[in-house]
Every structure is written in C-alpha cells, then in structure tokens.
Amino acid sequence: MVKLNKIYTKTGDDGTTGLVAGPRRLKHDLRVESYGTIDETNSVIGVARLHTSAMPDLDAMLAAIQNDLFDLGADLSTPETDEPAAYEPLRIVESQVERLERDIDTLNAELKPLTSFILPGGSPAAAHLHLARTVARRAERLMVALSRTDGERVSAAALKYVNRLSDFLFVAARHANDGGAADVLWVPGKNR
C-alpha cells in the first residue's frame, strides 16, 4: 500500500527523480517524460469526467481507465531488467487491453460511420476527451521512442494499451457528442 506522509522530499531539487528501482534519472529523461505524460492524460480525463455524470456507463469506463493509467505509470517507473526482482512489479496486462477493446466496441456500436474527419469539440465532455486523446497520443510517441532506446524496455502490453486508449478516447468523444449527432465535421477548404 502506498503511504505518503510528506509530500516534499527536496531530493528532486537537483533536477533528478527516483524511479521505483534503479538509479535516479534526470527529470527530462525519456522514461520520466513518458510516465509524466501518462499522468497528464489521466488529469485531462479527470477534467472530462466533470462532464460525464449524466453518462454513467462512459463515466465508469473512464474511471477504470484512470486506475489503469496509474498502473501504466507504475509499469513505466519500474524499468524491466534481467536482474531478479525482490517483488513482482506492477505491469499492464493483456486483459486490460482487451477490456479497453470491448469498451471501444460497445461505444462504437451506437455510432453512425463517419463520412468526414471531425474537429475536436462539441460538448464540454467531448472537447476534453479529444484533448485527452491528443495527450495520450503524445504519451504513445514518447513510449515508442523509449522502447527504441538502447538499454530501455517497454512491454508490448503497455504499448498496445496506450494505442487503444487514444482510439477509445476518440470514440468516447463521439459518444459524448450525443452519439455523434453533435460532432463538428471538417469541411476541407471551407475558408479558402
């Protein structure tokens, strides 16, 4: 169980932070950027949830995702090594990816197929979900870059999860836009 008695430790005053295991890292380290951007995604989802109380099924899905994102942050802040661990680190697992896929399919089944790209916006919930989607995509880009860095590992399940997450957030935004009826369609060249 996590226990936080003191919020400031002063150990990061030198521009470094501690991972769950291993040496301290610079605060702009790619691993720290990755889990920091997952935290940012989680925060934007929290703001979106201020507008989803009238959509209990969607709100429950978002609550589960917020919990998953803490799991993902724990996964990323505990680098995989070849050394035996003193404990079983928390990792994203395939069943979390599968639940996200089921939720995408559930929400998408209610939506009409798109005939145009849509602009981020519509209802407040949808606008915040679109913002969360773009932050999740940035997190994904950082995680992919981290996974391609010598000496670093990111699990396949973690990469799948963050990829599905942005898909979920897109579909959730459409769902929050009155089932897509309030989507704002892109009109190519409209303002030429």
Q: pLDDT digits over 40-84, tens only?
A: 999 999 999 999 999 999 999 999 999 999 999 999 998 887 777
Decide if 152 contacts 85 (C-beta within 8 A). no
- Distance CA(103)–CA(80), nearest Å, equals 29
Domain region containing 53: 27-78+91-185
**Do the domain assignments include residue 16?**
no
**Do the domain assignments include residue 172?**
yes
**Do the domain assignments include residue 5?**
no
**Do the domain assignments include residue 52?**
yes
**Do the domain assignments include residue 9?**
no
pLDDT at 23: 77
| Domain tally, the chain | 1
pLDDT at 61: 98
- Distance CA(124)–CA(119), nearest Å, equals 13
Scan for tokens 């145009």, then name that residue: 116
**Do the domain assignments include residue 106?**
yes
The phi, psi pair for 118, rounded to 5°, reads: -115, 150
**Do the domain assignments include residue 44?**
yes
pLDDT at 82: 72
**Do the domain assignments include residue 8?**
no
What count of Cα atoms within 13 Å lies in the side-chain half-sphere of residue 128? 18
pLDDT at 178: 94
- Distance CA(120)–CA(155), nearest Å, equals 30
CATH number at residue 37: 1.20.1200.10
Residues of the chain with pLDDT under 70: 1-6, 11-12, 16, 19, 22, 25-27
pLDDT at 1: 56
